[in-house]
Chains A and B, each alone.
Chain A
Amino acid sequence: MDRVVPQAVPLGQMEVFQALQRLHMTVFSQSVSPCGKFLAAGNNYGQIAIFSLSAALSSEAKEESKKPVVTFQAHDGPVYSMVSTDRQLVSAGDGEVKAWLWAEILKKGSKELWRCQPPYRTSLEVPEINSLLLVPKENSLILAGGDCQLHTMDLETGAFTRALRGHTDYIHCLALRERSPEVLSGGEDGAVRLWDLRTAKEVQTIEVYKHEVRPCPSPILLALPQLLCIRNSLLPPSRSAPGPTTGAGSDAWQPTQTGWDPCLSGQVCGGGPALTLWHLRSSTPTTIFPMRAPQKHVTFYQDLILSAGQGPCVNQWQLSGELKAQVPGSSPGLLSLSLNQQPAAPECKVLTAAGNSCRVDVFTNLGYRAFSLSF
């Protein structure tokens, strides 16, 4: 293996500490600004960095333009999840949701707009918030994480309206079926649950591990299906023509006409549920993708499924389960993918991927990594 030994620069105490910090940085979450020109990335030290995509993508981009425009300390713990409304950036980490005004941030003022904490029952440890989900119709925000519940919060009043209980372990991710106000959640307990927001009831449960088809004869696979990850595709390719099947029961999924493509993916150490495509109505796995490494983020893009997880690659799958391409990134493991689809900035239409490094890889097309933004 060729190792590039960088020019030895004398490092002082602060520099060493900073280098170590960067070395052990994990970027958990990303969010694109409403204008489409900026990307926010949150790391495990609670910092949020704002990168200017338009500057980095412009023809006269320098090394400096790949550095954050602004970095500010948002949370004490890691920033696990971020979403953007049309004015605000909402970030969540250890048990607290904070909102920031995009306009303020870009003016380098990082004063929080508001903060609130879901009503937790335990006091010993503050549960983390792993996922945020905006429900535009209700103008509400759904939070889910360490306390095994989904909390809905009214964005107007800031009050927590509902708590959806059912998961037996912490929740990793959320996905929205917009047509009918239904939310999918995937948790550490190996189950995907479909919730009806109107009744605040659990509609359906798929215990994914029970359907596990082991891609390899690893003996522990069935025993502990720990993680399910549901991701709503960020891009609704057929938003204008939603398919009829989407309103049906959970786990039903029809590849050809999906308005909402909840894609299930599983991860378990040493095996676990493989990345699987489920049909919601019949609750059966349609395609099991032949990928052994655990995948942590999945998204739909046109007729492809993009997934990333352990390993430095962004995987592109055909719906039939064929691996179309593996595009290497710069991080040893990826945790989050973000597609910038904002119509306001068509020139900044890129895929960004972040994970176990201080770098955010930018893919201008799906074929290769153009460059990396760096904390």
Chain B
Amino acid sequence: MSSESSKKRKPKVIRSDGAPAEGKRNRSDTEQEGKYYSEEAEVDLRDPGRDYELYKYTCQELQRLMAEIQDLKSRGGKDMAVEIEERRIQSCVHFMTLKKLNRLAHIRLKKGRDQTHEAKQKVDAYHLQLQNLLYEVMHLQKEITKCLEFKSKHEEIDLVSLEEFYKEAPPVISKPEVTMGDPHQQTLARLDWELEQRKRLAEKYRESLSNKEKILKEIEVKKEYLSSLQPRLNSIMQASLPVQEYLFMPFDQAHKQYETARHLPPPLYVLFVQATAYGQACDKTLSVAIEGSVDEAKALFKPPEDSQDDESDSDAEEEQTTKRRRPTLGVQLDDKRKEMLKRHPLSVMLDLKCKDDSVLHLTFYYLMNLNIMTVKAKVTTATELITPISAGDLLSPDSVLSCLYPGDHGKKTPNPANQYQFDKVGILTLRDYVLDLGHPYLWVQKLGGLHFPKEQPQHTVIADHSLSASHMETTMKLLKTRVQSRLALHKQFASLEHGIVPVTSDCQYLFPAKVVSRLVKWVTIAHEDYMELHFTKDIVEAGLAEDTNLYYMALIERGTAKLQAAVVLNPGYSSIPPVFQLCLNWKGEKTNNNDDNIRAMESEVNVCYKELCGARPGYQLLTNQLQRLCVLLDVYLETESHDDSVEGPKEFPQEKMCLRLFRGPSRMKPFKYNHPQGFFSHR
């Protein structure tokens, strides 16, 4: 025991020498290793269990020693000190052992720590490796699904059906023995077949293309040939013109007209076609022409204007203008009116030649915005006419065509829609514009194929209601009759103004040879003046005095007797007779109101006019009526009872031969002239 303790002491001392270096462990350790034995190595050699036993033993020894010391100390004595000393030395040895054991324990701990650390690093490395591997697995799995999900392009190709494939494909491609069982091979084979077919079709396409190219080239060549033909033909046509003229075959002219006619608005076109057709078929005296600028008409068609849009636009504008620009409103309205009443630049001219070489020129216009047609008329005669004052209105463009059909005075627009258009721009009635625009007669609309509903249901059936074509003949005949009757009147008025009633030889039999009463005045009067006359009331009330009629005043005189005759000349003369109203100034004023015989005279000219018409078409009617009026006045005056209380002979001696002077309850005078015998009788 003591040896052990001594052995332990030595290193202990040395170590205590080196104790200050203990803080700087590593260096001192390495220094000590070199110099001294290595305690670390000792550790490996020692068994920790025995160290633990040793530790326990040492602690027990110490405890025993401490207790012995305490025991000794408590007993006190001198000898005790040595024993104590001894014991103290023993304790010190034990302490040394404890110290050593402590160091060893420390070293062991450090070693253990190092070992743990090392093991841990190893584990970490393995973990990392594991993770890498897992990632790789995942990636591979992804790749696999990708591959599984892959779609081939061939699936989009619409392949021919299986049966078809085996039927049509050559066995080289189809290889039935291989493909029948293997769907993959089968698909491949089918794809091959598809490719084969497509190749063939591509070939075909290429062939067709080249074919087309060839044909195009051919067409080009032929076109060139044709276009070179046109100038040649033109030159031939040009050369043939004199021949055409020579042979009276105006093909070329007609062709030109048709060319122009293409630009006519539809109503004028209808009129043009129908009139041309009628002229060729039935009436050689009718000639048709188109006037106006074709270019303007073309220009009109280029911007296809939508009229409805236009209107709504103008609506909006109008509203705006009323809000903003009040001062210019009048000017704008004026412009709008002009726009509304605009005519188509092209017009159709009809020239209607009558028997006596007088010509009725009719110019038909089309009002684009109102969708109505108008006509202007002009009459030219072969010989210059001396225009009597009273005949002023007869051939005036304003009235010459008035009431061609009853009531058709051409002052009102036939299109009911126009009234609304007029309201917008403040036009009261078309009447104010007809002089400028021409008259929108109903028959004009019908010739143009325009049909408008009538305001009142028509109670008289006029001619034929089917349009244009069927209307053409009637209208043309009416037009001719109108012009001729107007010309006849024109001539008659010239002599009437000079107080001569022209009676043609074929009408002489209607009147006695001697007529004393003379026409002294023949003047035209205004409608208003006629209405104001006191003896025309009946006619006005019967509705026979319309303002479209022409009014005249005739004065027939014999001696002191003056017979005024107010004449209503219907535009429809001579199919509609002139109507006379009489007023005799002789011994007081006598009218049909207070003298039955005046009434009888009126009825003699107004009702019994049919025998006065003379030769057809009865243009002598007016003059015959006037002449009869002269005769009637003679009869009236001559049969008037003589007043015995007046000295001297009768003013009007009876020269006419009468069977009886009076007859019937109303004491009529014998107004009827019997031709060959020459006497007068009662009707």
A residues neighboring B (CB under 8 Å): 1, 3-17, 19-24, 26, 28, 77-78, 80, 124-125, 128, 130, 146, 170, 172, 188, 219-220, 223-224, 226-227, 269-270, 296, 310-311, 332-333, 335, 356
A11 and B544 in contact, given A20-B607, A310-B594 (Cβ under 8 angstroms): yes
Question: Which residues in window 494-542 of B have CB below 8 A to A?
Answer: 531, 534, 537-542
Q: Chain A: which residue is nearest B579 at the CB level?
A: A20
Are A220 and B645 in contact, with the CB atoms below 8 A?
Answer: yes
A interface, over-half SS = loop
Are A269 and B406 in contact, with the CB atoms below 8 A?
Answer: no
How far in angstroms is the closest Cβ of chain B from A311? 8
How far in angstroms is the closest Cβ of chain B from A293? 8
Are A19 and B641 in contact, with the CB atoms below 8 A?
Answer: no
Are A220 and B541 in contact, with the CB atoms below 8 A?
Answer: no
Are A24 and B665 in contact, with the CB atoms below 8 A?
Answer: no
The interface on chain B, measured as residues whose beta carbon lies within 8 A of the other chain's beta carbons, has a size of: 53
CA separation between A117 and B644, bound complex, in Å?
A: 39
A227 and B644 in contact, given A5-B531, A22-B542, A333-B596 (Cβ under 8 angstroms): no
A23 and B538 in contact, given A11-B543, A128-B664 (Cβ under 8 angstroms): yes
Partner of B543, one of A9, A128, A172, A333: A9
Q: Which residues of A contact B125 (CB under 8 A)?
A: none
Is B570 engaged at the interface, CB distance under 8 Å to the other chain? Answer: yes
Are B665 and A130 in contact, with the CB atoms below 8 A?
Answer: yes
Partner of B664, one of A21, A78, A223, A310: A78
CA separation between A13 and B572, bound complex, in Å?
A: 8
Is B593 engaged at the interface, CB distance under 8 Å to the other chain? Answer: yes
Are A356 and B596 in contact, with the CB atoms below 8 A?
Answer: yes
Partner of B593, one of A20, A21, A332: A332
Are B664 and A19 in contact, with the CB atoms below 8 A?
Answer: no
Q: Which residues of A contact B660 (CB under 8 A)?
A: 125, 146, 170
Identify the stretch in B219-227, B280-288, B484-492, B598-606 within 8 Å (CB) of chain A at 4 or more residues.
Answer: B598-606
A10 and B406 in contact, given A5-B531, A16-B576, A78-B664 (Cβ under 8 angstroms): yes
Is B39 engaged at the interface, CB distance under 8 Å to the other chain? Answer: no
Q: Which residues of B contact A333 (CB under 8 A)?
A: 593-594, 596
> What are the 8 closest A-B residue pairs judged by CB atoms, nearest first?
A10-B407, A24-B603, A219-B645, A220-B643, A223-B644, A10-B406, A12-B406, A332-B593
* New A-B pairs, 10, CB < 8 Å, besides A3-B531, A125-B659, A269-B667: A7-B543, A9-B407, A10-B403, A19-B542, A20-B606, A26-B599, A170-B663, A227-B667, A269-B640, A333-B593
Are A10 and B408 in contact, with the CB atoms below 8 A?
Answer: yes
Question: Which residues in window 332-363 of B have CB below 8 A to A?
Answer: none
Partner of A8, one of B543, B607, B665, B667: B543
Are B544 and A19 in contact, with the CB atoms below 8 A?
Answer: yes
CA separation between A144 and B541, bound complex, in Å?
A: 37
CA separation between A4 and B538, bound complex, in Å?
A: 10
CA separation between A219 and B644, bound complex, in Å?
A: 8
Q: Chain B: which residue is nearest A333 at the CB level?
A: B596
CA separation between A7 and B587, bound complex, in Å?
A: 37
A270 and B541 in contact, given A10-B408, A24-B607, A170-B660 (Cβ under 8 angstroms): no
CA separation between A333 and B660, bound complex, in Å?
A: 24
CA separation between A226 and B543, bound complex, in Å?
A: 38
Are B579 and A11 in contact, with the CB atoms below 8 A?
Answer: no
Are A28 and B665 in contact, with the CB atoms below 8 A?
Answer: yes
CA separation between A78 and B663, bound complex, in Å?
A: 11
Is B681 engaged at the interface, CB distance under 8 Å to the other chain? Answer: yes
| Residue of A20, A223, A270, A333 with most partner-chain B CB within 10 A | A20
Is B129 engaged at the interface, CB distance under 8 Å to the other chain? Answer: no
Question: Which residues in window 623-661 of B have CB below 8 A to A?
Answer: 640-641, 643-646, 659-660
Q: Which residues of B contact A311 (CB under 8 A)?
A: 594
Is B575 engaged at the interface, CB distance under 8 Å to the other chain? Answer: yes
B544-587: CB near A (< 8 Å → 1, else 0) gives 11110000000000000000000000101001110100000001
| Residue of A8, A130, A356 with most partner-chain B CB within 10 A | A8
Q: Chain B: which residue is nearest A24 at the CB level?
A: B603
CA separation between A74 and B286, bound complex, in Å?
A: 49
Is B132 engaged at the interface, CB distance under 8 Å to the other chain? Answer: no
Are B462 and A23 in contact, with the CB atoms below 8 A?
Answer: no
How far in angstroms is the closest Cβ of chain B from A48? 16
Partner of A296, one of B406, B541, B645, B665: B665
CA separation between A8 and B407, bound complex, in Å?
A: 8
Are A125 and B681 in contact, with the CB atoms below 8 A?
Answer: yes
A124 and B659 in contact, given A10-B407, A19-B543, A28-B665 (Cβ under 8 angstroms): yes
Is B308 engaged at the interface, CB distance under 8 Å to the other chain? Answer: no
CA separation between A78 and B668, bound complex, in Å?
A: 12
Is B662 engaged at the interface, CB distance under 8 Å to the other chain? Answer: yes
| Residue of B538, B572, B576 with most partner-chain A CB within 10 A | B576
Q: Which residues of B contact A28 (CB under 8 A)?
A: 664-666
Is B8 engaged at the interface, CB distance under 8 Å to the other chain? Answer: no
Are B539 and A23 in contact, with the CB atoms below 8 A?
Answer: yes
Q: Which residues of A contact B26 (CB under 8 A)?
A: none
How far in angstroms is the closest Cβ of chain A from B242? 51
CA separation between A146 and B660, bound complex, in Å?
A: 9
Are A146 and B607 in contact, with the CB atoms below 8 A?
Answer: no
CA separation between A4 and B462, bound complex, in Å?
A: 28
Are B643 and A219 in contact, with the CB atoms below 8 A?
Answer: yes
Q: Chain A: which residue is nearest B593 at the CB level?
A: A332
Q: Which residues of B contact A296 (CB under 8 A)?
A: 665-666
Are A16 and B603 in contact, with the CB atoms below 8 A?
Answer: no
Is B682 engaged at the interface, CB distance under 8 Å to the other chain? Answer: yes
Are B666 and A335 in contact, with the CB atoms below 8 A?
Answer: yes
Q: Which residues of B contact A15 (CB under 8 A)?
A: 406, 460
Are A170 and B662 in contact, with the CB atoms below 8 A?
Answer: yes
Are A6 and B663 in contact, with the CB atoms below 8 A?
Answer: no
Are B537 and A3 in contact, with the CB atoms below 8 A?
Answer: yes
| Residue of B576, B664, B681 with most partner-chain A CB within 10 A | B664
Is B592 engaged at the interface, CB distance under 8 Å to the other chain? Answer: yes
How far in angstroms is the closest Cβ of chain A from B407? 2
Q: Which residues of A contact B540 (CB under 8 A)?
A: 3, 5-6
Are A188 and B662 in contact, with the CB atoms below 8 A?
Answer: yes
How far in angstroms is the closest Cβ of chain A from B597? 9
Partner of A24, one of B460, B537, B572, B599: B599
Are A226 and B662 in contact, with the CB atoms below 8 A?
Answer: yes
Partner of B663, one of A1, A26, A128, A270: A128
Q: Which residues of A contact B603 (CB under 8 A)?
A: 24
Are A16 and B544 in contact, with the CB atoms below 8 A?
Answer: yes
CA separation between A17 and B607, bound complex, in Å?
A: 7
Q: Which residues of B contact A16 (CB under 8 A)?
A: 544, 570, 576-577, 579
CA separation between A100 and B169, bound complex, in Å?
A: 112
| Residue of A6, A7, A335 with most partner-chain B CB within 10 A | A6
Q: Which residues of A contact B587 (CB under 8 A)?
A: 270
30 residue pairs of the A-B complex, CB under 8 angstroms, read A3-B531, A3-B540, A4-B541, A5-B540, A6-B541, A6-B543, A9-B543, A10-B406, A10-B407, A11-B543, A12-B462, A13-B406, A13-B576, A15-B406, A16-B570, A16-B576, A23-B538, A23-B539, A24-B602, A24-B606, A26-B666, A28-B665, A80-B665, A125-B660, A146-B660, A270-B587, A332-B592, A332-B593, A332-B594, A333-B593
Are A1 and B543 in contact, with the CB atoms below 8 A?
Answer: no
How far in angstroms is the closest Cβ of chain B from A252? 26
Q: Chain A: which residue is nearest B662 at the CB level?
A: A188
| Residue of B542, B547, B665 with most partner-chain A CB within 10 A | B665
CA separation between A128 and B460, bound complex, in Å?
A: 38
How far in angstroms is the closest Cβ of chain A from B584? 13
Q: Which residues of A contact B643 (CB under 8 A)?
A: 219-220, 223
Q: Which residues of A contact B594 (CB under 8 A)?
A: 310-311, 332-333
Q: Chain A: which residue is nearest B587 at the CB level?
A: A270
| Residue of B547, B587, B662 with most partner-chain A CB within 10 A | B662
How far in angstroms is the closest Cβ of chain B from A146? 6
Partner of A224, one of B641, B646, B664, B666: B641
Are B407 and A172 in contact, with the CB atoms below 8 A?
Answer: no
Q: Which residues of B contact A125 (CB under 8 A)?
A: 659-660, 681-682
Question: Which residues in window 69-122 of B have CB below 8 A to A?
Answer: none
